[in-house]
């Protein structure tokens, strides 16, 4: 099956003339004459960008998602290709309306007109894994209904298998393969693709994000109508707004575009550092702007999570970057074990400074993040930095945010916008506010352990082993010193616990 899929990929590439991209490279110019003779029968009236988009659509969801990511990188792509790939965000061909009706009636085991008061069989959006229809519930509530594409799971399995094969070859044959962990990266990608195939999981993601931003002036998330949800179908509140990519339409509505760009940065850092739970597919096709100037998030199939360790590490690195404290950045990498322990911190610091210093105090329009990422990659290779698969989604989201920020406001100062937020977050984590917050979090557990302390201390003091009395007497003085320290520690803990309980009760 993999061989057939590989042959199909090659045939699609040839049919749409994608070999033009390869043969256009100087390193393979010797193959141009040979290829031109072998493929003399092909003539293309359609531009190369449109052929690339159509080829990705033909190959299916993984390739469409790849094109979606590329479409946000206008600093890396020619204009014609970036514009054409942007159409992948909401213009993937829909599947047949008869299949829509059949799927709904299979899931609900009832005719479609008994499930919904109204249902529009023409989709309002068609994406790589699912498509969305507008409907009206039996009580008259407007709703959006998301339905999985028929047979999509099998297609994804085959494509992921090919990715694993390619990653295995990369890891075995390329000297950088082991450090880059391509198979682990594919495994992370596969996990999130699996999540997209379960719309109940996506509904849970949407519900969590909505709860995180309840009452927020920054972000609005649709309500999930759980009684109508299933693995193949998700029903949620119908949202309205202007696509964030339509900048002129937003200006015509009176939206403050620079402020909107800054709000996007704040939403990103809030999701990452406050919640450790972030929307990881924030391309322009998934974002609207409502009448109140808030972002409206759509499509919650790919969400990222971070542990407290990840959040603390990232915050310290971001803050060190913004403060140009490159030694702290280098030391954080060593402490995290991302570079070998014998790495000279001063050399690593110098290499990071050479990459990052030129980009400060510049607006986005003057920064090529593609070149910055390339130089960081070269630096990481030199110092054997290990790629962390759990952060690949965050890296992808950062690229999406940069692409969105560039589109809205090329003069946006990313560093100036983000630095105050990170400083405030670090103060809340490390300062006295962070201490009080952690004490409040631990108070219930301490309250449960406190009554047991006398019994635990008595057991520790009364334990005796079966060794000869002489050996036990030789250790008596040392044991008494340890016991004294233990009693002092317990007394201190009791005092702190009482103070904490008073704070919780009367604070």
The residues annotated as belonging to the active site are: 281
Q: Which helix (H) or strand (E) holds 237?
A: strand 233-237
List strands edge to edge, sheet with 295-297.
219-220, 295-297, 287-289, 242-243
Query: Can you tell me the distance from the alpha carbon of 88 to that of 97, in angstroms, rounded to the nearest whole number?
Result: 20
DSSP secondary structure letter of residue 253: T
Query: Can you tell me the distance from the alpha carbon of 182 to that of 387, in angstroms, rounded to the nearest whole number?
Result: 9
486 contacts 457 by C-beta, under 8 angstroms? yes
Q: Which residues contact 397 (CB under 8 A, 6 or more apart)?
A: 268, 278, 279, 280, 282, 304
364 contacts 405 by C-beta, under 8 angstroms? yes
Quick one: tokens of 167? 């990653």
56 contacts 64 by C-beta, under 8 angstroms? yes
Q: Which helix (H) or strand (E) holds 408?
A: helix 392-408
Query: Can you tell me the distance from the alpha carbon of 499 to that of 440, in angstroms, rounded to the nearest whole number?
Result: 11
DSSP secondary structure letter of residue 280: S
Residue with tokens 């990715």: 163
User: Strand runs (DSSP E) across 384-453, as ranges?
Assistant: none
Quick one: tokens of 407? 């589109």
Q: How many CB atoms within 10 Å of residue 250?
A: 20
Q: How many CB atoms within 10 Å of residue 481?
A: 10
Which residue in 230, 247, 197, 234 sits closest to 412, CA to CA?
Answer: 247
């Amino acid at each position: 099956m993999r061989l057939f899929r590989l042959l199909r990929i090659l045939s699609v590439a040839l049919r749409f003339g994608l070999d033009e991209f390869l043969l256009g490279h100087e390193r393979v110019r010797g193959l141009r004459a040979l290829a031109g003779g072998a493929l003399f029968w092909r003539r293309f009236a359609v531009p190369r960008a449109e052929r690339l988009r159509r080829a990705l659509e033909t190959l299916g969801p993984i390739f469409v998602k790849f094109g979606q990511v590329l479409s946000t990188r206008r600093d890396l792509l020619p204009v014609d290709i970036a514009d054409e790939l942007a159409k992948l965000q909401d213009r993937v061909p829909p599947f047949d309306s008869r299949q829509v009706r059949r799927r709904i009636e299979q899931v609900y085991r009832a005719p479609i007109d008994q499930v919904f008061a109204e249902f529009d069989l023409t989709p309002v959006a068609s994406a790589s894994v699912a498509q969305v229809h507008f409907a009206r519930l039996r009580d008259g509530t407007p709703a959006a209904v998301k339905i999985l594409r028929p047979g999509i799971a099998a297609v994804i399995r085959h494509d992921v298998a090919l990715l694993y094969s390619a990653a295995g070859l990369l890891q075995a044959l390329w000297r950088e393969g082991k450090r880059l962990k391509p198979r682990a990266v594919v495994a992370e990608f596969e996990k999130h693709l699996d999540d997209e195939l379960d719309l109940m999981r996506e509904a849970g993601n949407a519900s969590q994000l909505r709860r995180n931003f309840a009452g927020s002036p920054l972000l609005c998330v649709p309500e999930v109508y759980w009684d109508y949800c299933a693995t193949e179908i998700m029903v949620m509140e119908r949202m309205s707004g202007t696509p964030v990519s339509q900048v002129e339409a937003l200006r015509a509505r009176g939206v403050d575009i620079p402020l909107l760009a800054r709000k996007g940065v704040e939403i990103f850092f809030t999701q990452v550092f406050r919640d450790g739970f972030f929307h990881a597919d924030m391309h322009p096709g998934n974002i609207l702007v409502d009448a109140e100037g808030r972002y409206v998030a759509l499509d919650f199939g790919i969400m990222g999570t971070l542990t407290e360790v990840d959040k603390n590490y990232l915050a310290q690195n971001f803050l060190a970057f913004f403060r140009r404290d490159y030694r702290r950045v280098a030391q954080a990498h060593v402490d995290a074990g991302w570079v070998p322990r014998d790495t000279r911190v001063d050399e690593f610091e110098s290499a990071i400074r050479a990459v990052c210093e030129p980009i400060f105090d510049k607006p986005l329009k003057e920064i090529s993040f593609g070149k910055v990422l390339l130089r960081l990659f070269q630096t990481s290779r030199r110092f054997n930095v290990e790629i962390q698969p759990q952060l690949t989604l965050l890296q992808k989201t950062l690229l999406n945010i940069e692409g969105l920020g560039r589109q809205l406001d090329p003069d946006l100062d990313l560093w100036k916008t983000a630095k105050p937020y990170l400083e405030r977050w670090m103060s809340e984590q490390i300062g006295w506010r962070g201490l009080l917050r952690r004490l409040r979090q631990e108070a219930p557990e301490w309250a449960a352990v406190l009554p047991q302390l006398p019994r635990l201390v008595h057991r520790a003091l009364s334990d005796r082993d079966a060794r000869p009395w002489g050996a036990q007497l030789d250790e008596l003085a040392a044991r008494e010193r340890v016991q004294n320290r233990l009693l002092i520690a317990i007394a201190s803990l009791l005092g702190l616990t009482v103070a904490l309980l008073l704070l919780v009760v009367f604070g």
